[in-house]
């Protein structure tokens, strides 16, 4: 049994995809089953933390002891995340947030007419970057990077530009990670890295939570 090293600490985790409406029946979205984020929430509860899970649309049951907030769009996830961070010690962004939303979703179902369809897209807020730059920023902000190539370079760039304390990078080429029960992570922080080899997401979540806990306690936080 692991000692409750995060007792009294509040952790907020985002998980799953976001769906951005095109019309009342269609949406734009990213792949994500929510398994990785939900496993992290369970691991954080096991470590003794108080856990809030902000989840996009997924078919998973809520891990025991977790407070779950369901959202659909990136804008909703952003506003829930910003409301949760004041009392938060550790924030983990595992959600596959859609980077763009449709500027003006149609109020009625779009009818096909054999013509090309153009959608005007606007950029969604970057949730993890906003959390990491907030005035009352959690002591640790951890992001994920889902890449199909150049894993280390792209992840390290995100670590820096989004002002994160740590980033867990996974190669998502050929649909290997989305929905799977297994994953492998390459974890980077400003002056170090650790490889977490292929393992069940439940195990990987525990290992990542151990690493986060180590860094959190090394940061001289209260």
- Which residue, among 88, 69, 90, has the nearest Cα to 216 in the 3D structure? 90
For ligand PMT, what does the binding mask look like between residues 133 and 152, x meaning CB under 6 A?
Answer: ----------xxxx------
Is 74 one of the binding residues for ligand PMT (CB under 6 A)?
Answer: yes
Interacting positions 32-71 with ligand PMT (CB under 6 A):
32-36
Catalytic residue at 30? Answer: yes
Q: Which stretch binds ligand PMT (CB under 6 A): 89-97, 111-119, 133-141, 207-215?
A: 89-97
CA triple 85-191-200, angle to 5 deg: 65
Rounded to 10 degrees, the C-alpha dihedral 208/196/145/65 comes to -30
Name which position in 6, 96, 159, 211 contacts ligand PMT (CB under 6 A).
96
Task: Output the DSSP codes for 182-219.
Answer: EEEEEEEETTEEEEEEEEEHHHHHHHHHHHHHHHHHHT
The DSSP symbol for 93 reads: E
Q: Which stretch binds ligand PMT (CB under 6 A): 64-72, 82-90, 105-113, 170-178?
A: 170-178
Q: Give me the active site residues, please.
A: 30
Binding residues for ligand PMT, rule: CB under 6 A, are 14, 32-36, 74, 93-97, 99, 124, 126-128, 143-146, 158, 170, 172, 177-179
């Amino acid at each position: 049994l692991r000692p409750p090293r995060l007792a009294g600490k509040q952790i907020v985790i985002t998980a799953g995809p976001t769906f951005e409406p095109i019309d009342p029946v269609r949406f734009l979205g990213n792949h994500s089953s929510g398994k990785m984020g939900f496993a992290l929430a369970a691991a954080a509860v096991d470590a003794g933390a108080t856990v809030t899970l902000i989840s996009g649309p997924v078919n998973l049951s809520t891990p025991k002891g977790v407070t779950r907030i369901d959202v659909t769009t990136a804008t909703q996830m952003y506003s829930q995340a910003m409301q949760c961070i004041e009392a938060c010690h550790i924030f983990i962004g595992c959600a596959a947030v859609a980077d763009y939303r449709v500027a003006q979703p149609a109020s009625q179902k779009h009818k096909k007419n054999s013509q090309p369809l153009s959608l005007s897209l606007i950029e969604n807020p970057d949730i993890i970057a906003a959390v990491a730059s907030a005035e009352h920023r959690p002591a640790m902000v951890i992001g994920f990077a889902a890449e199909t190539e150049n894993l280390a370079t792209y992840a390290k760039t995100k670590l820096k530009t989004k002002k994160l304390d740590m980033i867990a990078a996974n190669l998502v080429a050929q649909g290997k990670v989305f929905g799977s029960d297994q994953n492998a992570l390459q974890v980077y922080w400003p002056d170090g890295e650790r490889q977490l080899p292929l393992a069940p997401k439940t195990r990987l979540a525990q290992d990542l939570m151990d690493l986060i806990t180590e860094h959190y306690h090394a940061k001289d936080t209260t």
